[in-house]
Each structure stands twice: as C-alpha cells, then as structure tokens.
Structure 1
C-alpha cells in the first residue's frame, strides 16, 4: 500500500499556494487545513483533458496528508488519469464553507465569511488492494464516523465501475475570512441601509430510514445530534 507522506505541522508556502493579494487571510498550519477538510462533504476537482477544462463535485475523505476521491471509471477524470500514466494527472482540489453573508451599506463592499482549502498536485489511481480497501473506509468514515463497519464493502463489479483516486497534500493552503464589515466608507455610515453579518451553517436533519431497517444506530444518532 502506498504510504502518505508524513504530515507536517505547517505546510510549505509554494508559488501555487501564495496569492497576489490578501495574504493575511492565508493559513498554512496543518490543524487549520485539516479541520476545514474534515468538516466538508463535497470537494471540487478541476483538471484539463484534451485541452478542455473540467470541474467535478466529488465526495472525498482525508487520511493524514492524503485525500481520496472516487469517480466513475468511464468519466473524463478517470480517463485523463489513465492517459497521464505513472506521473498522475495535475489537478486542483478545493473545498469551501460559506460561514456568513457580510452585508454592507454599499454594494461594492458586500462580502462573505468563508473557509476554504485549495490543493494542487498529481492525482493517481489507487490499484493496490490494501490501499483500495483502506481508501474506501476513509471515504465512508469521512461521511459519518463508524459508517465503514455498517456498510458492505464494494464488490468486484462495483470496484471496476468506480475508481478510487488519491492526492497527496503537498501544495496546499487554507484561506479564511472570519470578521464583520471592514471597509465601510465614512460617507456611508449615515446611510439608511441595514448592515451586518448573517451567519450560515450546515445542519443535519432527522434521519429518514429506508423501509425494512431497524432503529437509527447509536453512532449515527450521536453524529446527527451533534450537527442538528
């Protein structure tokens, strides 16, 4: 099984992870990067295939300094990874949390509180049987801790239909905006327009059991209660 590189306390700054403006919003410490990833359910992976840009929303899971995604084996992404060979396919990987709407007195100064992580690197297909089993477990555990032992693993047909892919977090950084209004013009302060922040958050609703299943398992009930 391929072993993920040792997770650093702080990810190195690279050309790909250093913006041209608002650098004070950047975070390179692993704790912040990992927390943002671990709270997210959906990633967007962008890549170029045959000269055409693509972006896909994908479920993912993190294991140390590596993320796993899965996608149809016949997709543009899977095909591009195969054509890329052993070096892997260059991709950009992103997750974003919208934490609040920042409403200014002026249209220009409206903003949003957010936390995001963007990573760049080669995406490779996982072929080692041990890493395949581990990666699928990582994906399920990312969705709901405890889920990997409460679901049937993929069979051979399903594994052929859906590929598992890995990206090592070598060129990665977080960007965070977490404050209120910061750029009101002096001349706008007396205008009769409401201004402030509207917080946003993702919550879990009540479980909706399929027909024929028993009570909601304890691990799932606890997880949903924590996010209600």
Structure 2
C-alpha cells in the first residue's frame, strides 16, 4: 500500500488496545463512511463535553455535517474552527460465545479527529445537500423542490478533513478460551443488517402524487460489506 492510499498515523490515531483491528486504508474508511447515515460529533462547549448525533455525508477527503447557525458546535466553529471527534459505527452482527464474558459485536467504525470549519462556499454547501439527499434515497433529488438561496443561507455546514482518520473493524465468530470449547452452549454469530419497510404516505398527500419508482423498483436495504461469520 502506498502512502497515498492510507491516512497518516498520529498520536491521536494510535490505539492502545486491539491494534489488529485498526485500518488506515483510505478506501476502507471511505466505504464505511458512505454506508452509514448518522455520526456522533463530540466537542467541548462552555467547558463541558457534548455529543450530538447528526446526519453527514462524505465528499472526497472530508466529512460534512449541517445544522442551525445557532447550534453550539456550529456557532463555536465559526470562531476559528472547533476541535472535534467524529465517530461512525455500523453493527454487523451479535457474537454469541459459550462464556458470557466473551460475547461481542461485529462492527465497522470510523473515528476522525480534527478541526471543523464552517463552509462559506455556497456551491459546496449546495453540493453537500444534493449528495446527502441522494445518499439516503437515490433518485430522490430530482423528485423534490430545489433548495432556495434563503434555505442555504440559513443553514450552517461544517467541514472536517479526514487527516486523522482510522477504521476499527471486528469481524468473525466468537473467541472462546480453550477450556470453554467443550461446553454444551450454542455459539456463533447472528448477522445484523439495516433494511427499509414499505413507504408510508405523509398526511395530506395529494391523490395524484403516486409512489415513485425509485421506492418501488429498487430493493432499498443496506447490508454489511464485511463478512460476519
């Protein structure tokens, strides 16, 4: 792997435990970020730690979140940037061991450290919104009213570069100790996946607003990209 294919190692991305689960491969990190929908953004506000769950999207080597300009992280970031830690996790399976102590989860996680900055470029903000909508439901953007300039102006977008990013992955079955292998308890992995249900129309739906094909012809479900057994 060439240096350009992976993100650099820094003191904040150097693990103390489970070093075998750490990956810095750019493609792996991008794939995990692109497959999930919600991140947890950690920061310090007024001297106290805070964490916010936010929708996000990746564009190139940066992650973008958005919200009201009056929100604590967004207003703080406008004062020269905000030091944050962003985490994204997808659960792929319940790992059931013979011993209670050895139960675990299969997961894919990305953690990013860095200074988040407010995006001033209107074209980039619009691209972020368009990409986010298409990420959630491909084909939806063309079936909506376009964003107005006012809507863009009243929404703050933060950009966090993936300069300090690592992936953490746990895959495979349980890891029982040798003395527990003869126990009569079932052990193995229960796969977990995110799926969509049947669309539910909104209140006041017009009679001529038919269910679009991108919701009926496409099987919208999101499966793990990492083997769970």
TM over 0.5: yes
Q: CA deviation at 1:117?
A: 0.6
Query: What per-residue deviation string (whole Å, max 9, x for no partner) do you get for residues 47-84 of structure 1?
Result: 0112110100001111111111111221111122123x
* Alignment partner of 1:54 is 2:50: yes
Q: CA deviation at 1:161?
A: 4.0
Structure 1 partner of 2:137: 144
* Alignment partner of 1:118 is 2:111: yes
* Alignment partner of 1:185 is 2:177: yes
The TM-score with structure 2 as length reference comes to 0.87
| Alpha-carbon contact 1:112-1:177 (below 8 Å) kept | yes
Structure 2 partner of 1:107: 100
Q: Which moved more, 1:48-57 or 1:133-142?
A: 133-142
Q: Is there any run of 5+ residues in structure 1 with no aligned partner, and where?
A: 1-6
In structure 2, distance between residues paired with 1:207 and 1:219 = 11
Structure 2 partner of 1:221: 216
Query: What per-residue deviation string (whole Å, max 9, x for no partner) do you get for residues 64-112 of structure 1?
Result: 11111111221111122123x2xx1111111101111111121211111
Structure 2 partner of 1:32: 28
In structure 1, distance between residues paired with 2:66 and 2:221 = 25
Structure 2 partner of 1:162: 155
Given the superposition, is the C-alpha separation of residues 44 and 222 from structure 1 closer, same or farther in structure 2, using an over 3 Å criterion? farther
| Alpha-carbon contact 2:41-2:51 (below 8 Å) kept | yes
Q: Is there any run of 5+ residues in structure 2 with no aligned partner, and where?
A: 223-229
Q: CA deviation at 1:13?
A: 1.9
* Alignment partner of 1:63 is 2:59: yes
Q: Which moved more, 1:144-153 or 1:59-68?
A: 144-153
In structure 2, distance between residues paired with 1:9 and 1:220 = 36
Q: CA deviation at 1:160?
A: 4.5
Per the alignment, in what secondary structure is the counterpart of residue 44 of structure 1?
strand
Aligned residue pairs, count: 217
